[in-house]
Amino acid sequence: MIQFGDFKDFSGSTQQNLLDNLYHAALAQVCQTIDACSNLNGELVAIDVWRLDKVCQRASGNKFFKQALYWQLAEQHPDLPLLSFGGHYSNHLYALAAEAQRRETSLICVLRGLHQGELNPCLSDLQSMGARLHFVSRKDYRNKQSSAYLEGLQQQLGSFICIPEGGGQLVGAWGAQAIGMAAFNKEASTIVVAAGTGSTAAGIIAGLDLAAARSRLQGKSPAARRVVIVPVINLHTIDGQQGLSEDIALLRQQLAELNAHQCDALNDANWSNTVSWQLLDGFQFGAYGKFPIELQLFLSEFEHRYGIPLDPVYTAKAMAAIWSSKNLATSASLAKANNSFLFDAEKILFIHSGGLQGRRGYGLL
């Protein structure tokens, strides 16, 4: 069994070329500006929706960036299959399966929850793309990070390369830096993104850090950027919020250490002065994966008005957070933000992180 994520995995000479390619892929995606009406004064509020969902037809959005380095590292072990984890409508597994099919690589999908009967559309796609489906109980699935459990899977399934659920951790966050590097070239002062584990958000922050440091080395004074992170997993307690914050801060620092050899400015004590971030809690709409009636109404209104599809798990909730904070017009009963994290004159960039195939799990086309 092989697992990636240590600093030694970042020694390859081709990785900078990969990050540059990911950066250009992000930069090539269009921003679609939408105008929403304020309930307060009737003025229009402009929001740039960065359509990263269009970066790749099947490995869309943040998955395209988070999985890229995993694939590069896996090339060092061409004879081993990949193994990863997810639910029955997992965007992560869907993207992995699509790329595995393209590369003619074996993939084992360990799926949360036992299954009987016909496969749903996502599972059917995984199977048709050549992935091996391995269903486990929810109880066993909770052990997915346990060394003993992984060793048991290896005894049962043979040796494999293990990619964590969601393709996150340090390797996934490294690829997500390309999003932040490209976002630095946008005019927006505030960037809004949904978060599960926080690895995408951490990568975006680190990419902004790197771009700002490079700008300073060129004698420029980069404008301040702020990343607003909307968690879609219940944090429940202050400890839970601190846990996510600590995870993001740790990944940011680890990426800064990895990037320091490229850009000495990242060693400076003030390396993060131009990039700030915060969590905006309260827009989980019940729990991860829940799609209550008020969110259904908001998503329906939004898509009818702007023609931009959102997914119920991530992007719809993050967009609803913008609507609530800016007090924008909607007939949906949205939760109220504790404070307005979006200021009157600022330019907002919303990162569309993809995941649209998962809409099928909610009866959406």
pLDDT band of 221, cuts 50, 70, 90 = confident
- Which tens digit of pLDDT belongs to each residue from 82-127? 999 999 999 999 999 999 999 999 999 999 999 888 999 999 999 9
Beta-bridge partners for 275? 225
209 neighbors 174 (Cβ within 8 angstroms): no
Q: Is 353 exposed, middle or buried (0-12, 13-18, 19+ CB in 10 A)?
A: buried
Percent of the chain residues topping a pLDDT of 90 = 75
Q: What is the pLDDT of residue 104?
A: 96
pLDDT band of 16, cuts 50, 70, 90 = confident
pLDDT band of 133, cuts 50, 70, 90 = very high
In the β-sheet with 132-136, what is the strand arrangement from edge to edge?
A: 2-3, 161-162, 82-86, 107-112, 132-136
Residues of the chain within CATH 3.40.50.1100 domain(s) are 31-57+168-362, 68-162
How far from 78 is each of 82, 102, 177, 185, CA to CA, in Å? 10, 14, 26, 37
Helices 121-128, 91-103: crossing angle, 10 deg rounding: 20
Third-level CATH fold of 68-162: Rossmann fold (3.40.50)
124 neighbors 117 (Cβ within 8 angstroms): no
Is the model's pLDDT at 236 over the cut of 60?
A: yes
Is the model's pLDDT at 3 over the cut of 90?
A: yes
Pairing relationship of beta strands 161-162 and 2-3 according to DSSP bridges? parallel
- Which tens digit of pLDDT belongs to each residue from 262-279? 666 565 545 567 899 999
| CATH 3.40.50.300 for domain 31-57+168-362 | no
Q: What is the pLDDT of residue 90?
A: 95
Whats the size of the chain, residue-wise? 365
Q: What is the pLDDT of residue 42?
A: 80
Q: What is the pLDDT of residue 14?
A: 77
Q: What is the pLDDT of residue 251?
A: 96
Q: What is the pLDDT of residue 345?
A: 61
Whole-prediction pTM: 0.94
Radius of gyration of the chain (CA): 20
Q: What is the pLDDT of residue 13?
A: 67
Residue among 68, 69, 84 at smallest CA distance from 7: 69
Task: Please name the helix (run of DSSP H) or strand (run of DSSP E) that holds residue 194, with its range, or none.
Answer: strand 190-195
Is the model's pLDDT at 287 over the cut of 70?
A: yes
Mean pLDDT of 24-52: 92
Percent of the chain residues topping a pLDDT of 70 = 92
Q: What is the pLDDT of residue 125?
A: 96
Mean pLDDT of 276-284: 92
In whole angstroms, give the CA distance from residue 204 to residue 36. 26
202 neighbors 247 (Cβ within 8 angstroms): yes
In whole angstroms, give the CA distance from residue 185 to residue 7. 28
Maximum Cα–Cα distance across the chain: 64
Structure tokens, 66: 């988070």
Residue among 350, 360, 364, 359 at smallest CA distance from 51: 350
> Which has more confidence, 336 or 186?
186
> Which has more confidence, 8 or 73?
73
> Which has more confidence, 238 or 56?
56
Is the model's pLDDT at 353 over the cut of 80?
A: yes
211 neighbors 266 (Cβ within 8 angstroms): no
Q: Which of 3-17, 27-41, 194-208, 246-260 has the lowest average pLDDT?
A: 3-17
Please provide the average confidence, as pLDDT, over all residues in the chain: 91
103 neighbors 342 (Cβ within 8 angstroms): no
Q: What is the pLDDT of residue 6?
A: 85
Residue keyed to tokens 């995984």:
126
